[in-house]
Amino acid sequence: MSAERILVAAAHPDDEVLGCGGTIGKYRKAGHDVRVVFLAEGITARYDPDQFELPDVKAKIERRNANAKRALAILGVDGKAVFTSQRYCCRLDQTPLIELTKEIERHLIDFKPTRLFTHSTGDTNVDHGFVHRAVLAAARPIAQERRLRAIYAFEVLSSSEWNPLQPFAPTVFHDITGFIDAKLSALAAYEDEMRAAPHPRSPEVVRALATYRGAQMGAAFAEGFVLVRGLDL
Ligand SMILES: [Zn+2]
């Protein structure tokens, strides 16, 4: 495999591990560069706006962002390659899309990714959909961007499967057989986000989905992606 530069654009800390944590670990183990960009924090959806500035809420945002660096370190990603955000969770519909687009554009120019992983279109979470749209606008196919050979959409348990009329149907599979334990360890770093089975954000269900996606490609464990755009040069 030639040198790859992997950009992950996610809404909230934990989406990146749920969506493509095994794949991140696999690329890092092979020596490829990985950068992860979050467009929002993941806490304030649980609070009213008049509580957003409370010290306890701010501390939880900081802890969630710190957990992102701990989780990604387990997958081999250096903290300097992790970009967190203070934008309020589940309110990206109140942020001008151009602001998100320009932020992603800056990473495209600066990092020069060869592959980009981001959210799917059908998720119930409003932020996920806006990140997807911002990525499409930022990565519009102009000539100098041909180094970006593929854009993939990942699935996020507790969002993608909560839209039954638009089921996630992956077309590309990454064998993560050697990386399922690292993915689960990284998720455990998000101590406040994981739940007990049968909640979809539980170790049992994450492993079950990886088993099912593995069965779709003939591997013990896999992550599934929808190819949004691929360039076969
Ligand atoms: Zn999310």
Residue 143 Cα, ligand 1 centroid: separation in angstroms?
A: 31
Measure 9 CA to ligand 1 centroid, in angstroms: 11
The pLDDT value given to residue 192: 92
**Residue carrying the six token digits 């989905």:** 209
Could you say which DSSP state residue 69 is in? Answer: H
Provide the pLDDT for residue 2: 77
Q: What is the CA(142)–ligand 1 centre distance, in A? A: 29
Q: What are the structure tokens assigned to 21, written together?
A: 């944590």
pTM above 0.85, yes or no: yes
Query: pLDDT tens, 64-90?
Result: 999 999 999 999 999 999 999 999 999
- What are the residue boundaries of the structural domains of the chain, listed by start? 5-228
Q: Say what the pLDDT of residue 141 is.
A: 85
What's the confidence (pLDDT) of residue 146?
73
Residue 125 Cα to ligand 1 midpoint, Å, equals 7
Cα–Cα–Cα angle for 75, 80, 86, nearest 5°? 100
Our CA angle for 157, 229, 99, nearest 5°, is 70
Residue 143 is predicted with a pLDDT of 61
pLDDT digits 0-9 by tens, 150-162: 999 999 999 999 9
The tokens for 2 are: 């030639």
Instruction: State the pLDDT at residue 71.
Output: 98
Gap from CA of 11 to ligand 1 centroid (Å): 5
Edge-to-edge strands, sheet with 172-175? 82-83, 33-38, 5-10, 115-119, 150-154, 222-230, 172-175
Q: What spacing in Å lies between the alpha carbon of 158 and ligand 1's midpoint?
A: 9
Phi-psi region of 218 (alpha: psi -120 to 50; beta: other; left: phi over 0): left
Token pair of 171 as six digits: 């077309």
CB 223 within 8 A of CB 171: no
Q: How far is the CA of 33 from the centre of ligand 1 (A)?
A: 23
Are 37 and 63 in contact by the 8 Å Cβ rule? The answer is no
pLDDT tens string 3-18: 999 999 999 999 999 9
Task: State how far the Cα of 211 lies from the Cα of 181, in Å rounded to an integer.
Answer: 13
Q: How far is the CA of 124 from the centre of ligand 1 (A)?
A: 10
To 5 degrees, how large is the angle CA 48–CA 157–CA 45?
A: 5
Q: Specify whether the CB–CB gap between 180 and 210 falls below 8 A.
A: yes
Whole-number Å distance, alpha carbon 220 to ligand 1 midpoint, is: 26
CA 127 to centroid of ligand 1, rounded, Å = 7
The residue ranges of the chain whose pLDDT is under 70 are 1, 143-145
State the fold for domain 5-228. Rossmann fold (3.40.50)
Cα–chain center distance at 66? 16
Which one-letter DSSP state was computed for residue 137?
A: H
Query: Dihedrals φ, ψ of 8, to 5°?
Result: -110, 120
Q: How far is the CA of 48 from the centre of ligand 1 (A)?
A: 18
CA distances from 151 to 56, 115, 139, 158, 211 (A): 37, 6, 9, 22, 24
